[in-house]
Structures are given as structure tokens and as C-alpha cells.
Amino acid sequence: MLRISCPYCGTRDEVEFHCGGDSHIVRPGPEVSDAEWSDYLFNRKNPKGVHYERWCHDFGCGQWFNVARDTVTHEIHAVYRMGDPAPDLEQ
């Protein structure tokens, strides 16, 4: 059960949040090819290591924010606001 630091509310238990999967996905415009659109809809990297994902504080402030979490150790390396660029983490 993770402990997540909401940038607005502080440290809370995982049950207050829900994970929205990969962050930093750029929604393509309507002119892209079928392959590019399909990539946007279905393909994700699924890394073993640092994963940049978005979480929503459902049972708190209701805000979305970003988390850099290690998919193996579950260590949370960074929490940053929605819209901010991903931090540069040496791995």
C-alpha cells in the first residue's frame, strides 16, 4: 500500500487515489495515420524501472498530478504537478 505525497494535500495512503496510467502522452491531432492513432490508444512502454505516471486524488482534492515510481521496488522518486515536465532521474 503505497504512501503518496499529493502536491496539494500532503502524504496520504494509496486508497485515496487512483492511478491513470502513463503520463506525458501527447494526444495527436485528427490528421494522424491509423497506425499513429492506434499507438496513442493502445501502445505503452511498460518499463522495468522508473515509470512516469499520473494519479488523481479522488478522495481528497480531486486533482491530477504526476508521479515517478519504480515499477520493481515501488519507490516513489518524484511527485510533480500535472503539466510540469518529467524530472531528469539518473538510473
Partner 1 sequence: MSQPYRTAEGGRIDLSRPLGFTFNGKPYQGYRGDTLASALLANGVRVVSRSFKFHRPRGILSAGVEESNALLGVDYGSGTLPLIRATRMPLLDGLRAESQNCFPSVNFDLLRVLDYTRPLWPAGFYNKVFKWPSWHAFEWAIRKTAGLGRLPEGEDPARYRHMNAHCDVLVVGAGPAGLMAALEAARAGDHVIVVEQDTEPGGSLLYDPAEINGQSPDNCRAETMQALNACGNVRVMVSATVVGYYDHNVLTIHDCSSAYRREDPAEVFWKIRAGRVVLATGAIEQPLMFGNNDLPGIMLAGAMHQYASRYGVHCGRRVAGVVNNDLAWHSVVALQDAGMEIAAIIDTRDAVNEQVTDLARERDIAIHIGAAPLYARGSYMVRKLEYRDGKGRSGSIDCDAIAMSGGMNPTVHLYSQAGGKLRYDKDLACFTPHECRQQVAVVGAANGEFATPHSYNIGPRTPSPAKTNTQWIDFLHDVTASDIELAWRENYRSVEHLKRYTTVGMAVDQGKTSNLNALTLLGELTDRTPGEVGTTTFRPMFMPVTMGAIAGNRRGDFYAPAKLLPAHEWHLAKGAAFDDYGGWKRPAYYGNNRERCIVREVLKVREAVGLFDGSSLGKIEVKGPDAAEFLNRIYVNTVPTLKPGKVRYGLMLNEKGVAMDDGVFLRLAEDHFLVNTTSAHADRITAWLEEWHQCEWPDLDLVLTPVTSQWAVATVAGPQARAVLGSLPGMLDLSAENLPHMSFASGVFEDGTDYRIQRVSFTGEQSYELSVPADRATALFERIWLVGQAHDIGMFGVESLTLLRLEKGFFEVGVETDGSTNPFDIGFGGIIANKKGDFIGARSLERAEDRRADRRQLVGFEPEERKATVLAGAHIVTGTGSGRRSEGFVTSACMSPTLGRTVGLALLERGAQRKGETIQLYDQGQIVSARIVDTCFYDPDGERMRG
Binding site for partner 1 (CB under 8 A): 1-3, 13, 20, 27-30, 32, 34, 37, 41, 54, 56, 58, 62-64, 73-75, 82-83
Q: Where are the alpha helices (DSSP H) in 3-73?
A: 34-42
Q: Min. distance of Cβ 14 from partner 1 in angstroms?
A: 8
Is the CB of 41 or the CB of 90 nearer to partner 1?
41
Taking the complex as a whole, the smallest distance from the CB of residue 44 to partner 1 amounts, in Å, to 14
- The three grid cell numbers given for residue 26, joined into one nine-digit string: 501527447
d(CA 43, CA 62): 27
The β-bridge relationship of strands 10-13 and 64-70 is: unpaired
